[in-house]
Amino acid sequence: MQRRFGVHGPQPKLAQLLTHGLDQLTPLRAHTVSRIEELRPVIVSESRRLGVNPMLVAAVLFDEIQRAKPGEDLPMAADSGLFKTHGPAQLGVDEFVHQGLLPADASPEERAAARRELLVPERNVQLLVGKFHRLSILLGFPTDRLLQASAGPRDAKALATLAYLHNGKLDYPARILSYMQDPALHALIYGERKPQFSPLI
């Protein structure tokens, strides 16, 4: 599972409790939503291009950004080898290999360059959308239409499977499906944002 899909492994009970606590921190939530707003253009454009539900992408980013470790997005940290996954979507270098963007026998220099590329937020999101597209094809999920949890149990199960294969923690799919229904995230991705004008003096 780890080699084929990039599954991380189950989340301990204590970590699940901490995860729930993080969701309640308003400043952290606001910061996370702000980060996703910055990435909205690439989320929407890449999801449309590859037929991936942008709310799935936004929900995964919301979860991963909230739980990012301090300093892990620094080039020095990436080069140190302390972290296996990088960027807002927490992807590993092997995802380049899975998508045919890096040879399996890549040199250490090529893998180091790929790690640096994962630190570019927009590129990281492109790879995340590509990962969901790749897994959908591999698992035989529809790619000619968006998977929608509201469309029925089959689509909901497919979305949950994609979420699980991204993270590998048993509580992750339910959390992601819940985030996909979050009003703030939904408005951010689908809502029409009105331009703000400076008041006349």
| Residue 200 forms part of a structural domain | no
If one counts the domains in the chain, the total is 1
**Which pLDDT does position 27 carry in this prediction?**
76
Domain that holds residue 41: 20-70+121-190
Q: What is the pTM of this model?
A: 0.83
| Residue 44 forms part of a structural domain | yes
**Which pLDDT does position 71 carry in this prediction?**
75
| Residue 38 forms part of a structural domain | yes
Cα dihedral 40/45/51/55 (nearest 10): 10
From the list 43, 15, 42, 9, the residue with the least C-alpha distance to 167 is 9
- Return averaged pLDDT per consecutive 10 residues of the chain, 201 residues in all: 52 49 66 94 97 97 89 78 89 96 96 94 98 97 92 95 93 94 93 51 42
| Residue 113 forms part of a structural domain | no
| Residue 137 forms part of a structural domain | yes
What tokens were used for 173? 């799919």
Residue indicated by tokens 């454009």: 45
Instruction: For residue 44, give every residue at least 6 positions away whose Cβ sits within 8 Å of its Cβ, in sequence order, or none.
Output: 54, 189
**Which pLDDT does position 201 carry in this prediction?**
42
| Residue 183 forms part of a structural domain | yes
